Amino acid sequence: RIAYVNGAYVPHSEAAIHVEDRGYQFADGVYEVCEIRHGFIVDLSRHLDRLDRSLRELRIAWPMSRAALIHVIREVSRRNRVRNGLFYLQVTRGVARRDHVFPANDTPPSLVVTAKRTDATAIAKKNADGIEAITVPENRWDRVDIKSVGLLPNVLARQKAKELGAQEAIFVDTDGLVKEGAATNVWIVDGDGTLRTRPAEHGILRGITRTTLMDVAKALGLKIEEKAFSVEEMYAAREVFVTAATSICFPVVSVDGKTISNGHPGSIAQNIREAFFDIAE
């Protein structure tokens, strides 16, 4: 495998970042994960628009032009022969002697791009069987709208899920309302067949899959409401599913050990998943 690190394509096993990279010391950086499907990068411009927003919010400079970055992404995908998989890109505030305040303006940001194939069989199995989730109290900072690499609470939540035999952990706010998964957005289908997900203005990441799924749902004539829902409403939902670039739309068949509906993946999640790639750009 090959990785791109600060201007060079290097063997993945030798790819390295300086010990005083601010991403390493302070999680002072942002990232994107994007799906590659049949050699085509899904929703690339939306991912790069979100990267631009994350960088601007943190006042980190673009490491290169947008066109150059697209070239690097394609080159990393090509050199790794990834036709179906994911690429990962990370931009940090660069390398500087450890000091909490920003380094000098001329410090170049660090850029890493990697790509890997995904296991189509494992994904198909999750879609067919559904996944299990748990809920956990929200304990992250209040700027989770920025796709920062500071993911320790997400790591701990996913690990807890794994130790309880589940695949996703869902953050819940102090009002008992669902926020999002450790690495997914969460949706329910309510009793009327309306799709619901939390508004993205505050407290969650505006997932690209979430945005594209809204286009898909509209094309399918489904009703959507951006309105927060409670854990109780989730337990009672007709369907629950989670979305992310890594999973598109995984059905959730149990939450906190409580069976959702009849315990089988629902038809709406399946219909959306099947229509997704016709609409994603």
Q: Which is nearer to ligand PDD, 17 or 151 (CB)?
A: 151
Please count the residues of this chain forming the interface with ligand PDD, following the rule CB under 6 A: 14
Tell me, residue by residue from 201 to 220, as one string, x for binding to ligand PDD by CB under 6 A and - for no binding.
----x-xxxx----------
CA proximity to 41, closest of 252, 245, 181, 268:
245
Q: Measured in whole angstroms, how far is the alpha carbon of residue 203 from the centre of its chain?
A: 15
Taking the C-alpha atoms of residue 190 and residue 234, their distance in angstroms, rounded to an integer, is: 8
Token readout for 167 is 């695949």
Least separation in angstroms between CB 106 and ligand PDD: 30
Tell me, residue by residue from 18 to 47, as one string, x for binding to ligand PDD by CB under 6 A and - for no binding.
---------------x--------------
CA proximity to 184, closest of 125, 107, 242:
242
Q: Which is nearer to ligand PDD, 197 or 254 (CB)?
A: 197
90 lies in the site for ligand PDD, by CB under 6 A: no
Taking the C-alpha atoms of residue 80 and residue 73, their distance in angstroms, rounded to an integer, is: 11
Q: Write down the catalytic residue from 116, 125, 126, 147.
A: 147
Residues 145-204 that bind ligand PDD (CB under 6 A): 180, 183-185
Taking the C-alpha atoms of residue 16 and residue 138, their distance in angstroms, rounded to an integer, is: 33
Known catalytic residue at 147: yes
Q: Which is nearer to ligand PDD, 95 or 170 (CB)?
A: 170
Residue of 112, 178, 189, 244 interacting with ligand PDD (CB under 6 A): 244
Least separation in angstroms between CB 114 and ligand PDD: 12
Please state at what angle helix 44-58 crosses helix 66-79, rounded to 10 degrees: 120
Residue of 246, 261, 270, 271 interacting with ligand PDD (CB under 6 A): 246
Taking the C-alpha atoms of residue 217 and residue 278, their distance in angstroms, rounded to an integer, is: 12
Residue of 41, 195, 245, 280 interacting with ligand PDD (CB under 6 A): 245
CA proximity to 15, closest of 6, 26, 28:
6
Token readout for 31 is 């990232």
Least separation in angstroms between CB 195 and ligand PDD: 15
270 lies in the site for ligand PDD, by CB under 6 A: no
Least separation in angstroms between CB 183 and ligand PDD: 4
Taking the C-alpha atoms of residue 278 and residue 152, their distance in angstroms, rounded to an integer, is: 35
Q: What number of helices (H) and strands (E) belong to the chain?
A: 8, 15
Which stretches of the chain bind ligand PDD, using CB under 6 A? Answer: 33, 180, 183-185, 205, 207-210, 243-246
Catalytic residue numbers read 147
